[in-house]
Amino acid sequence: MTKSIKLRYFASLQEEAKIAEENLVTNLNTYQELYDFLAKRHGFNLSSSQVKVAVNDEFTTMENAILDQSTVVFIPPVAGG
């Protein structure tokens, strides 16, 4: 099933993607598959185990199914200081 999603990037992922957000139509099933696809597409240096995923402002797991018409954010670790 085709899903239309909005992706937002922050911190190192935004720097590597060279964009802050994009829209994507995909047949991928899980957020794990989506991250793997985006990592290849944008050259992300972080593995999926190093990032968290939030959908519509709520954290979820990489194994969950992608929700149509949602906003997805992959959140890299952030150093404080």
CA 41 to CA 7: how far, in whole Å? 13
Helical H runs in the chain?
A: 11-17, 31-42
Six-digit token string for 33: 């598959």
Confidence of residue 78 (pLDDT cuts 50, 70, 90): confident
Residue 50 phi, psi dihedral angles, 5° rounding? -95, -5
Does the global pTM surpass 0.75? Answer: yes
- Written as six digits, the tokens of 8 are 């937002």
> What is the average pLDDT across 32-52?
97
Residue with tokens 């969950």: 64
pLDDT at 75 over 70: yes
